[in-house]
Structure 1
Amino acid sequence: MQFSPVLNILGVLATILAAAMLIPMGVDLYAGSDDWQVFALSALLTGFVGVSVWLATNQRDAHGLGLRQAFLLTNGSWVMIGIFGALPFVFSELDLSFTDSVFESVSGITTTGSTILVEIEQASPGILIWRALLQWLGGVGIVVMAMAVLPMLSVGGMQLFRTESYERAENVVPRATQLAGGIGLVYTGLTALWAVMLGLAGMDMFDAVAHSMTTLATGGYSTRTASIGAFDSVAVEWIIITGMIVGSLPFAHYLAMVRGGWRSLLNDPQVRWFLILAVGLVLLLIWHLMQTGLGFGEAVRQASFNGVSIMTGTGYVSANFSAWGGFATTILLIVMFIGGCGGSTTCGIKVFRLQVLASTAKVQISRLLRPHAVVLAYYNKRPVSVEVMDSVMGFFYLFILGFVLIAIMLGMAGLDFVTALSGAATSISNVGPGLGEVIGADGNFSTLPDSAKWIMSFAMLLGRLEIFTVLVMLNPAFWQR
């Protein structure tokens, strides 16, 4: 395998990450915080490594990006950003260990939102904006990857969204570059719009910008320990609910809207399914909260915000949903796995895979009733190929198996049943908070043992990179000639 094309692109990504560190450095300089030196040092180290690797591999003979190199690049880029993104946390005055710093960074770049910070307000403005920036970059990165890279790799049924533009591995980088330009503009425009709306709703400019980035990225990092509940604003909560839904829909449709194609969004079956599931979840939670004695208005407010936040994997909280009782917490644990639509900033199983699974089950039932009939599974009025059906079934199996194994490992690391189970679910689905007193809505991940943090960091990457992308590299055949 030729490593130079992969290293060359990783060098460019590290250089871009170093440039991004200059933003929080400027914020700390403006705020008069000494942590600007932290970002200056981190940017210097990251930039030095990035430029060195880029120069060392740039003069080599040009090679096309093959299939195995595309897998290596996809995994390498997220691991590299997770490690170098941890440098500001390591050097900061927060006195975090390397394990905690990597956990916070990986949680940010995978838009999970799990945090080890006990008092978030004690962090410098630069650190707070860096956390938001990591999630914002991770959100746009996963959209480009889901639209350009994963369909080519035939990962977990993502080939449903394959087009002729990226049928071959050699077209990944050019196609991703074209997509990144259009998506970047749409993504930036939406982020700016939500920042303005949050500012008009009463947030100061700093909080509005930080929360707009983590809302559209469905990440969930907040500038407050109490998350969105600290602002106690109905207007802020509904603006963020809308932003979480926008971030959960396919960004390809937003590009189509810019070009005048307004109907594509409403005609997409996964969009309709997602909205139906979200409304159904909220109505169920409203009914349950009213049964516990909560008023209708407050039940609507709490159920809508926290239900949408957990289902989309954003992880914002406005109330302690762990105290809602067994029925509500069971429902929330289940919807953690759903996520949003393919080609969005969300994680989880994704709605389109649930649709393919439902269609496959329908076909199997029909074949039992009519053994000699030719019955086909359909998605978006088109027949689903056997390759896609097998891929979706394999993904679902590995996702559930991964969840079970991670929960077992977290139990072996010393976590109690609820913490281990919800910790596995929230990490592999990239949600953020778990359930229970330790990692629930009112807790954080700081008290977990280091072994559990490393397990969950791996699980976050596993879930974010769609399972197959990571597991294929663990196969010895991947490294053979």
Structure 2
Amino acid sequence: MLDLRPVIYLVGLLTFTLGALMLLPMALDLSRGDPNWRGFALSGFASLLVGGLLAGATRNSLGVGLGRRQSFLLASSLWLVLPAFASVPFMIGAPQASWTDAYFEAISGMTTTGTTVFVGLDDMPRGVLLWRSILQWLGGLGIVVVALVFLPVLRVGGMQHFQSEGFDTLGKIMPRVYDISRALLQVYLALTLAAIIAYMAFGMGGFDALNHGLTTVATGGFSTTDQSFAAFTGPLEYVSVLFMVLAGLPFIRLIQLMGGQPTALLQDVQVRAFLRWIAYAVGVIVLYRFATEEGTLLDILRGTLFNVVTLFTGTGYGSEDVSAWGDFPLMVVMLVGFIGACTASTGCSLKVFRFLVLFEAIKLRMRQLGSPHQVVALRLGGKRLEEDVVSSVIVMFTAFAGIFALLAAALALSGLDTRTALTAAWTAICNVGPAFGPEVGPTGAVDQFSTVAKWLMMLGMYLGRLEVLAVLVLFFPRFWRS
């Protein structure tokens, strides 16, 4: 029989941690004399109490260990349970949201999707804005890192979490998971601090810089204003591009870079493809816009670079209405949203690595059609790809495409316009952020969507964040019997 105690222990421990973090926005609102602090105080107390009770009741599982099935169950549970507790401040405090809207905002934050149902952000209590940013920072990498820090206590290698989260260590660069966990946290904190300082250095206010630093490194996209990044155009867009690209690189390679091994990053075939594809997408859209729009080349280049990178990495900020560029640019940015950033980054979607594997598999198949008797091994970046890697990539593409099609059809049946349904399914399953269509508000909020459409989008965000298969495998009886 499956022992759920280690899973419950970690869920309780992280719920307790979430409750402790609610003290930060509570203190902010309290210091400003905003009565909204009471909502965070009550929510934090409830999370601390429930999390503490769960962890305390199962602490005897510390020496039991965590198996593969338990690891998948833990990863799947975290993105359902934690948003439930994280949503409480939105209901009992500002903005007095319904259960659906509050849970939508919380799960959008923790999956780093960035789609919002809240309007009037400019007038929101600062504690609410900070809490949204904290949720995205945790969802980007923090929750995974915290879980990995505690895994050695449970006598487990922990690499299952890297697999279920889409992380690929690209070789055993460190002997123990604890070392990886600590290094990941150090890099994540360093990038966050650097982003905050850079935003402030280029003119962004301290509070805005703090929030955008948290959500940029998490590639989340929540902003402190309804205008999103349109309120910070100019040099700040280039700053944001730099840190979005860094957050979209494999963190394992950034660890090696900080350890004095820059060649590991420069020689990574995935990194080179990621940067090259960004240049291609920006180039073709700039040429199209320069030929069809009025405006200086520099302005077009800056706006295109920022909005392409924010969608490529799944961050989801917006400084311009991308849908107004035309159908061709919209198709390009949707394509890059499907690709996503690198494996082992905070980005989401299918990831560059899987596309590279798919392309190599297609090229190999075409060569075999011309020379059916020739035996050629499939390689990527000079390394041989095992058959199970290729098959898993093909299965992932098939499952992803199937879920996207079903989600788009369901959203259309819920009453959304076809364009809105397609982009809403895209932004949810890819965890990108913006949707386009007549039902999307002028600020990009989806507050006018029906309750059914919102829950469908939440399902898409959840599946997309856990990369579909990590959730679907739980519904197969054979998985539980293995």
The question of 1:161 aligning with 2:170 is answered yes
SS in 1 for 2:344: coil
Is the contact made by 1:67 and 1:153 (CA closer than 8 Å) also made in structure 2?
no
Distance in structure 2 (CA, Å) of the matches to 1:229 and 1:298 = 13
Is the contact made by 1:251 and 1:344 (CA closer than 8 Å) also made in structure 2?
yes
Distance in structure 2 (CA, Å) of the matches to 1:32 and 1:51 = 30
Given the superposition, is the C-alpha separation of residues 413 and 84 from structure 1 closer, same or farther in structure 2, using an over 3 Å criterion?
same
| Structure 1 counterpart of 2:216 | 215
| Structure 1 counterpart of 2:251 | 251
Is the contact made by 1:218 and 1:313 (CA closer than 8 Å) also made in structure 2?
yes
Given the superposition, is the C-alpha separation of residues 238 and 146 from structure 1 closer, same or farther in structure 2, using an over 3 Å criterion?
farther
5 Å-filtered alignment, 1:102-251, equals 102-141=103-142, 144=145, 161=170, 163=172, 175=177, 177-231=178-232, 233-251=233-251
Gaps of 5+ in 1: 167-173
| Structure 2 counterpart of 1:467 | 468
Q: Give the letter aligned to residue 285 of structure 1.
A: I
Is the contact made by 1:356 and 1:389 (CA closer than 8 Å) also made in structure 2?
yes
| Structure 1 counterpart of 2:419 | 418
| Structure 2 counterpart of 1:430 | 431
| Structure 1 counterpart of 2:154 | none
More displaced stretch, 293-302 vs 340-349: 293-302
The question of 1:372 aligning with 2:381 is answered no
Distance in structure 1 (CA, Å) of the matches to 2:81 and 2:179 = 23
Q: Give the letter aligned to residue 447 of structure 1.
A: Q
Is the contact made by 1:221 and 1:316 (CA closer than 8 Å) also made in structure 2?
yes
Is the contact made by 2:16 and 2:48 (CA closer than 8 Å) also made in structure 1?
yes
Give the superposition deviation at 1:438: 2.8
Q: Give the letter aligned to residue 127 of structure 2.
A: G
SS in 2 for 1:346: coil
Give the superposition deviation at 1:259: 1.4
Q: TM-score, normalised by structure 1?
A: 0.94
Distance in structure 2 (CA, Å) of the matches to 1:289 and 1:410 = 31
Query: Could you give the per-residue CA deviations for residues 263-311 of structure 1, whole angstroms, max 9, x where no partner exists?
Result: 1111100000000000111111111111122321111111111111111
Is the contact made by 2:36 and 2:94 (CA closer than 8 Å) also made in structure 1?
yes
Query: Could you give the per-residue CA deviations for residues 175-219 of structure 1, whole angstroms, max 9, x where no partner exists?
Result: 2x4433221121111111111111111111000010011111111
5 Å-filtered alignment, 1:213-362, equals 213-231=214-232, 233-294=233-294, 295-362=296-363
Give the superposition deviation at 1:152: 6.7
Distance in structure 2 (CA, Å) of the matches to 1:40 and 1:157 = 35
Distance in structure 1 (CA, Å) of the matches to 2:442 and 2:287 = 21
| Structure 2 counterpart of 1:79 | 80
Give the superposition deviation at 1:153: 7.6
For the aligned residues, what is the CA RMSD? 2.2
SS in 1 for 2:219: coil
Give the superposition deviation at 1:329: 1.2
Is the contact made by 2:314 and 2:349 (CA closer than 8 Å) also made in structure 1?
yes
More displaced stretch, 337-346 vs 133-142: 133-142
| Structure 2 counterpart of 1:450 | 451
Is the contact made by 2:29 and 2:126 (CA closer than 8 Å) also made in structure 1?
yes
Query: Could you give the per-residue CA deviations for residues 450-474 of structure 1, whole angstroms, max 9, x where no partner exists?
Result: 1111111111111111111110112
Q: TM-score, normalised by structure 2?
A: 0.93
SS in 2 for 1:115: coil
Distance in structure 2 (CA, Å) of the matches to 1:146 and 1:268 = 25
Give the superposition deviation at 1:141: 3.8
SS in 1 for 2:132: helix
Q: Give the letter aligned to residue 363 of structure 1.
A: L
Q: Give the letter aligned to residue 406 of structure 2.
A: L
Distance in structure 2 (CA, Å) of the matches to 1:31 and 1:152 = 40
Query: Could you give the per-residue CA deviations for residues 71-97 of structure 1, whole angstroms, max 9, x where no partner exists?
Result: 111111121111111111111131210
Query: Could you give the per-residue CA deviations for residues 117-144 of structure 1, whole angstroms, max 9, x where no partner exists?
Result: 1111121100000001100111114764
Q: Give the letter aligned to residue 394 of structure 1.
A: V
Give the superposition deviation at 1:380: 2.2
Given the superposition, is the C-alpha separation of residues 337 and 149 from structure 1 closer, same or farther in structure 2, using an over 3 Å criterion?
farther
Query: Could you give the per-residue CA deviations for residues 346-394 of structure 1, whole angstroms, max 9, x where no partner exists?
Result: 0011001000001111111111111111111112211100010000110
SS in 2 for 1:223: coil
Distance in structure 2 (CA, Å) of the matches to 1:158 and 1:410 = 30
Give the superposition deviation at 1:149: 5.4
More displaced stretch, 324-333 vs 462-471: 324-333
Is the contact made by 1:118 and 1:444 (CA closer than 8 Å) also made in structure 2?
yes
Q: Give the letter aligned to residue 170 of structure 2.
A: F
Distance in structure 2 (CA, Å) of the matches to 1:361 and 1:60 = 47
Distance in structure 1 (CA, Å) of the matches to 2:206 and 2:283 = 34
Q: Write out the 4+ residue segments of structure 1 that deviate beyond 6 Å after TM superposition.
A: 145-148
Is the contact made by 1:143 and 1:343 (CA closer than 8 Å) also made in structure 2?
no
Q: Give the letter aligned to residue 31 of structure 2.
A: Y
SS in 1 for 2:63: coil
SS in 1 for 2:97: coil
Distance in structure 1 (CA, Å) of the matches to 2:332 and 2:433 = 16
Distance in structure 2 (CA, Å) of the matches to 1:406 and 1:201 = 41
Distance in structure 1 (CA, Å) of the matches to 2:180 and 2:441 = 37
Q: How many residues align?
A: 472
Is the contact made by 1:75 and 1:465 (CA closer than 8 Å) also made in structure 2?
yes
Give the superposition deviation at 1:440: 7.3
SS in 2 for 1:13: helix
Given the superposition, is the C-alpha separation of residues 403 and 450 from structure 1 closer, same or farther in structure 2, using an over 3 Å criterion?
same
Is the contact made by 2:71 and 2:160 (CA closer than 8 Å) also made in structure 1?
no
Q: Give the letter aligned to residue 333 of structure 2.
A: L
Is the contact made by 2:357 and 2:390 (CA closer than 8 Å) also made in structure 1?
yes
SS in 2 for 1:81: helix
Is the contact made by 1:24 and 1:36 (CA closer than 8 Å) also made in structure 2?
yes
Is the contact made by 2:169 and 2:344 (CA closer than 8 Å) also made in structure 1?
no
Distance in structure 2 (CA, Å) of the matches to 1:12 and 1:266 = 38
Q: Give the letter aligned to residue 279 of structure 1.
A: A
Distance in structure 2 (CA, Å) of the matches to 1:247 and 1:62 = 35
Give the superposition deviation at 1:62: 3.2
